[in-house]
Amino acid sequence: MEVSGSNRVRWREARRERLQGALLTCFVFVVCFLTAELGGMLEIRAPQPIWLLWPGCAILSALLFLQPRRTWWFVLPAGLAGFVLYDVRASLPISSILWLILIDVCEILTATLGVRSISGKDAPLDLGSVRGLAKYCAFAVILAPVVSATMGAYGPSETYWTRWRIIFFSEALAFLTLPPAVLGCASQIHLRNENRPSRWPEAVFLTTGVLALGYVISVTSTSNLVPALFYALVPFLIWSALRFGPLGVSVSILIVAFLSIWGAVRGRGPFTAATTIQNVLSLQLFLLCAATPFMVLAALSEQHKRFEKTLQELGGQLISAQDEERTRISRELHDDLSQRMARLLIRLERLRHSTGEMSEKSLGQLDAIIDMTSEVSASLRDLSHLLHPATLATLGLVPSIESYCRKFSEHHNIRVKFDCRDIPQDTPQNLRLCLFRVVQESLRNVVKHSGAREARVTLTRHGNAIDLCIEDFGTGFDQEALRKGGTLGLISMRERARLVGGQLSIESGMGTGTRIFLEAPLSGAPVASRTWS
């Protein structure tokens, strides 16, 4: 029975895999056929058909990049079958169809196998770094189009190199823009839960601007319009590179490319003044030269964002490690040294009461030793509490901060006023520790730098967030110095606020005191900054 049940499970899994393979095959076939149809809509006859951008091989290569190599044996034929159906509908002879399929196979395998050979067998294609983009361009944007152009530009020698350039630019432009767009969309769908909803309106506004401007320049204008007006798109391309990476640049360039080609096919736009061949080459070269630097800029931007994220994660790990080390030292102080000091104090008290004949001087020295031991024991308890406030877990946030403010006032002779309103008892532990550390570091800065004799700590609830304000009335400091980096304590406070999804701001001026504001969410979701009054 167990063997039969195991066979049934394997049979169901095999059936599911076959069904998924069949659906994938049909999907690739339909996509490649529609892509070929789209390419056919963008051809110019001069008098032979010329494709300014042929998207078929680039789209099929992108689909192969998204699949493990073990599925290529049926994904690649399905895509080629879509191309064959388009060629048959276009009434091409069988010999031409076979020759075009051979060219497509050589080009696609050159791009996919070349990129896979240097990036890993089934590793995801990384276009968000300069190195990854360079590896991709070497095989997919340069070598594969060279193969396609060399094989496809057959014919009389006097026109060979003209056709070679047209085919090369057509394939290079397609590989530079289409696979990054497809892979970027697939990545965004896979990571949809991590996306910030606020970026969708920005993406829609950017796309609308590129569409409108590209349409005006490429479709509604006449041949008298100078190509320099395309520079009006540069701010949008920079915007897309810095904010949306290779996906944003590839989509923006594709919009411009399709609009420009659509206009050129209908005799509109800046690239229609010269002969057809010259117009085609000028438009292809313009689009390729426009796409390349902005793709590099996007890769540099994404690489910088990754480095910044890595540094932030490292900062968070350092903060966590620091808290763990503080907790360990606090426990050692409490469980070891404090206990030893307590036993020492008890023995000294016993010695004080068991002594017989002692001089007044000796008794005075013994009393001084007992007092000093008592002070050291109290200092150890205070230090243990400062390193790890155990009352945060037992008493809660408000009693812990209130107790700290009271002891701080006694030790430093500074009046600290503490106010709180509507603070929930079930405040998350990481948020409690963040707020306590910010209060702790802020009041220490008051003693070290401000020279104030009074400070105020305010803790209130605002909707689903907790607002913390620490202000003093001391000398203050220069805001420009803060923008250049600030002290380690201020950097630590900012990092703690970031770890809990909060917003930290500091207002200060020479002679006007300092105000530190922290708004942190109770739920852990980041909060939007707002103006404090």
Q: Is there a domain that residue 132 lies in?
A: yes
Residues 297 and 407 in one domain: no
For residue 370, pLDDT over 90 is answered with no
Q: Between the ranges 73-77, 263-267, 352-356, 522-526, where is the mean pLDDT highest?
A: 73-77
Does the residue 49 lie in any domain?
Answer: yes
For residue 411, the tally of other CB atoms under 10 A from its CB is 10
As to burial, measured by CB atoms within 10 angstroms (0-12 exposed, 13-18 middle, 19+ buried), residue 295 is buried
One domain, residues 235 and 120? yes
302 with 399, same domain: the answer is no
pLDDT above 90 as % of the chain = 15
Say if residue 96 is in the same domain as residue 219.
yes
pLDDT at position 387 is 64
Q: Does a structural domain hold residue 382?
A: no
Whether the per-residue pLDDT at 98 is higher than 90: the answer is yes
Q: Is pLDDT of 199 > 80?
A: no
**pLDDT recorded at residue 329:** 67
Say whether both 167 and 261 belong to one domain.
yes
Question: Which single residue is written with the structure tokens 């980041």?
Answer: 526
* The domain boundary residue, chosen from 246, 281, 306: 306
Q: Tens digit of pLDDT for each residue in 392-411?
A: 667 788 888 888 888 888 88
484 — phi, psi (to 5°)?
A: -80, -5
The boundaries of the domain holding residue 66 are: 10-306
Extract the runs of DSSP E, i.e. beta strands, from 3-79. 43-45, 49-51
Same domain, 299 and 411: no
Q: Quick check: 3 pLDDT over 60?
A: no
Bond before 47 cis per omega within 30 degrees = yes
Select the highest-mean-pLDDT range: 98-112, 180-194, 294-308. Answer: 98-112
The sign of the torsion formed by the CA atoms of 362, 364, 370, 373 equals negative
Which of 306, 336, 352 is the endpoint of a domain? 306
pLDDT digits (tens, 9 = 90+) for 145-177: 999 999 988 766 657 888 898 899 999 999 999
Confidence of residue 131 (pLDDT cuts 50, 70, 90): confident
Residue 438 lies in a domain: yes
Same domain, residue pair 76 and 214: yes
Q: Does the structure show a pLDDT above 80 at 489?
A: no
398-454 pLDDT, tens digit each: 888 888 888 888 887 888 888 888 888 778 888 888 888 888 888 888 887 777 788
User: Does a structural domain hold residue 323?
Assistant: no
The C-alpha torsion from 520 through 522 and 523 to 527, rounded to 10°, is -30
Do 291 and 403 lie in one domain? The reply is no
For residues 418 and 526, state if they share a domain.
Answer: yes
Nearest to residue 222, comparing CAs of 271, 153, 171, 281? 271
Q: Please check whether residue 322 lies inside any domain of the structure.
A: no
CB 366 within 8 A of CB 351: yes
Residue 384 is predicted with a pLDDT of 64
Same domain, 96 and 194: yes
Domain contains 311: no
From 287, 288, 228, select the one nearest 259 (Cα to Cα).
287
Please tell me whether residues 56 and 186 are part of one structural domain: yes
Q: Where are the alpha helices (DSSP H) in 355-484?
A: 360-387, 391-394, 397-412, 429-445, 479-483
Inter-residue contact 148 to 107 (CB < 8 Å): yes
CATH number for the domain harbouring residue 405:
3.30.565.10
Final residue of a structural domain among 259, 284, 306: 306
Strands across the sheet containing 454-462: 415-421, 454-462, 465-472, 513-521, 503-509
Domain count, the chain: 2
pLDDT at 251 over 80: yes
Based on the fold, state whether residues 270 and 394 are members of the same structural domain.
no
Q: Is residue 269 part of a domain?
A: yes
